[in-house]
Chains A and B, each alone.
Chain A
Amino acid sequence: MDETMKREAVKTNQMMGVIAAISGWIVPGLGHLVLRRWSKAAVYFLCIGGLACAGLAMRGGVFSAGAEDLFDRFGFFADLGAGVFYFLAHQIQAAGPDVAHATGDYGTRLFAAAGMLNFLTVLEAYDIGRGSEPR
């Protein structure tokens, strides 16, 4: 393989990694679906989607972008990881959050955990897309 072809292959791999990572962030599991990792895509979608929906159904709080203290900013970052579930949180959670009760507080943690788990799957999708050996 000559140098130009090698460079093209590296560029294609980089591109595939970025596409997989972005789609995996927007919809959990979609990055793996793009990479034809069917079982991983299904498991990630069901687990992360289920966790996010459970958090919202338990009336957990969702942190917004305009947070002022550091804890809320971390919360926003974690929640943002849930992708489409974060953007549709207000539609899914019609009754709104209720963090005055323990169940609502628990829901807040479940939703944040869904976001953080999705960040891990996004990193894996990026790695696989770049052509690294899948684990």
Chain B
Amino acid sequence: MNFLFGKLTHFEAMLFFALVVSLTFAFLSKRGTSERAKYTLWAFLAFLLVAIGIGWLMYPFSQ
């Protein structure tokens, strides 16, 4: 597994996490391919937005 995931940067790991969790939530909560695709995209973007937003909010405290 190291050849696949061993060299991930933190940002890539976050992208991967956001994608698989969004996909799983979509299959748990929605029916039909288009509904699931829409939900996956929406949740994925929400994960990214929140993660980057929290990152920016924490930035001043890292100084």
Q: Which residue of A lies closest to B33 (CB)?
A: A39
What is the size, in residues, of chain A's interface with B at 8 Å between Cβ atoms?
25
Which of A15-23, A46-54, A67-75, A76-84 is found at the contact surface with chain B? A46-54
Interface size of B as a range: 10 to 19
In Å, the complex CA distance between A21 and B10 comes to: 33
Instruction: Say yes or no: A51 contacts B27, CB within 8 Å.
Output: no
Q: Which residue of B lies closest to A59 (CB)?
A: B6
Interface mask (A82-98 → B, CB under 8 Å = 1, otherwise 0): 00000000001000000
- Given the interface pairs A53-B5, A56-B1, A103-B10, the reply to whether A43 lies near B23 with Cβ below 8 Å is yes
Contact surface of A with B, Cβ cutoff 8 Å: 39-40, 43-44, 47-48, 50-51, 53-54, 56-58, 92, 102-103, 106, 110, 113, 117, 120-121, 124, 134-135
